[in-house]
Amino acid sequence: MAAALANDSPKYRNSLICCSPRTIEADSITPSSSSTSGCVSADESYDSSLPRAIVNKKLKIHGSASREEVERAIIQCKELVLSSAQCSDERKWLVRYLVELRWRLEDLKENNGESRQRVSIKGHHFIKQTTISSRKQYCDHCSGVIWSIVQASYVCTDCGYLCHCKCIDHVCRVCAHVVMTEKGEFEMSICPEKGLAAQDYKCAECETTLTFKDLWNEPRLCDYTGLYFCGTCHWNDMYAIPARVVHNWDWEKRYISRIAYQMLTLSWTRPYIDVEQINSKLFNFITELQWVHKMRTDLQWMRRYLCACTEGTTLLSPLFVQLGDVNNKYSMAHLQAINDGSLESNLTELTEICRAHITKCELCSGKGYICEICSNNEVIYPFDNGAIMCEKCNSVYHRSCWLRKGQNCLKCIRLEERKKSKTDDDEIDSNVEYDIDKFVD
């Protein structure tokens, strides 16, 4: 019986996580974006995400609520929104709940009391699955198998959360799309574990009591969040951890919870990581990363040339737009491509094409610079390897000429002398005394 359960449900897969890690299969999910989000469960039980100020307001309704009950809840929620403080957690929660109530009201109007085609719970935007899946699917709530031939199921269009129709009203996990959109960054502390005592020996998601006596309900540590989860909320999925990559360039996959798995999958291509600010020393140890960082600086200058040229705008590929941004942030997909070596070849080809256009185009080449130190007629650009730019006045020189001149910018020297002479002239004019009788006949 235990072997059958282990094969049918990820809840029992690799249950002894602390003993020996094993390779598991993780099904890919295809998330989509959405502009509306909420974070409220339709369950009548207590929800830990509710602000303390509105726990006793009895706002939550059951999934089988009638149209009149939903309309009354909308009116009550509107009044509480207007009476709450601006930018407070209470108003934030109420606005999201109001969105969910309106979503449910529209669904009741369209279906006339029949089974719901769309459900909005805890920020998830569920849509009822109508096609039979060719692969085995598991419910994210109860971790049981979804027999798509005989069982109805819902899937979240934002994070890919999948659950039985009977489990839809008991979902307790906030949508990963909502969490990452609000946070806007990865967890940059390596496994910030606080211990089971800080969680009151309960699962961080469903609050199930955890114990080491029961092998089927042992606590499982999520290496991304540092929290402990039960077997239902932690399927021993494995992923590379952003914090370990940025701090130690460690790409070894580690066990994470389902919510962490969905968050990392959604945000893998989003530029959330500022390597220069978090760990600038990483550039000294990873040669490929240092080279890509140099290419990104060159792309920023190339972008100024190409954006002003009608023919150059056609060279602004998606890769150029992503890496030519001024915020210098990287996504995990970019860092993975640097580790694999694929980004190096793509960037080399891209920069060569852009460089060839700028040097040959009459409009772009006319915006080049001439070294003032050697007075050579050779046109140089800020992204040339042998060129260096003054940080104060943006004048460009040959690197060898700059070093030979003692790293002194001629333009900055002229500006300082002009400013000094102007100050001296003003002082002389202020000290001159005029005799009024000389100007009177």
For residue 332, the model assigns a pLDDT of 94
Q: Where do the domains of the chain lie?
A: 26-137+148-181, 277-367
DSSP 8-state class, residue 202:
B
DSSP assignment string, 298-362:
HHHHHHHHHHTSTTGGGG--HHHHHHT-TT--B-HHHHHHHHHTHHHHHHHHHHHHHHHHHHH-H
Task: Please give the pLDDT value at position 111.
Answer: 60
Q: What would you report as the CA-atom Rg of the chain, rounded to the nearest whole angstrom?
A: 31
Averages of pLDDT over each 10 residues, the chain, 441 residues: 50 45 37 36 42 59 70 83 81 77 71 69 87 84 83 89 88 91 91 91 91 81 94 93 95 95 94 91 91 84 82 76 72 92 84 86 82 79 80 80 79 83 67 49 46
Picking from 39, 62, 12, 18, the residue whose alpha carbon sits closest to that of residue 255 is: 18
